[in-house]
Structure 1
Amino acid sequence: MTKDDWVNAVGNARNSVGEVQSRSIHQSTESPSIPNLPEGQYTILRYNTVFDNKSEAMEVITLKEGNSKWEVIGYYIH
């Protein structure tokens, strides 16, 4: 995911929830596999987040290690 793709994905996901008021790490999980994705080294970060328009949310960021660097491959708000 390029920097521009990341900015667009986060912006689109946050349109309805507003600005971040607070955020704290909930969980960090490493895994060699994720369903429907090739084998590799993945890290899933989960944050408890309070937004302007959503008082209880979970942000999930999925990272994949590749070419000696970590790349964001997913961002979701639950």
Structure 2
Amino acid sequence: MLHDPTTAVDAVTESRIAAGIREVRAGRTTIVVTTSPALLAATDRVAVLDGGTVTASGRHADLVAADAAYRAAVLR
């Protein structure tokens, strides 16, 4: 489980971390708590939580296109 692993890094480092996570998690379940678009785009599935309840789930790109609240949270 990773909690906002890229909050204190620049965009280049964030992209490198996202690529590393993608490589290391191959064949494994990995839970990442983040609002980072780079990390979210690297996932297979995103679960959106609001008050402890899953309000949406799917691929990052699909959620950005279809869910205004999700889009606002991650594309600030």
Higher helix share: 2
- Between Structure 1 and Structure 2, whose CA radius of gyration is higher? 1
Q: Same fold (TM over 0.5)?
A: no
Higher strand share: 1
Q: Report the TM-score when normalising by structure 2.
A: 0.28
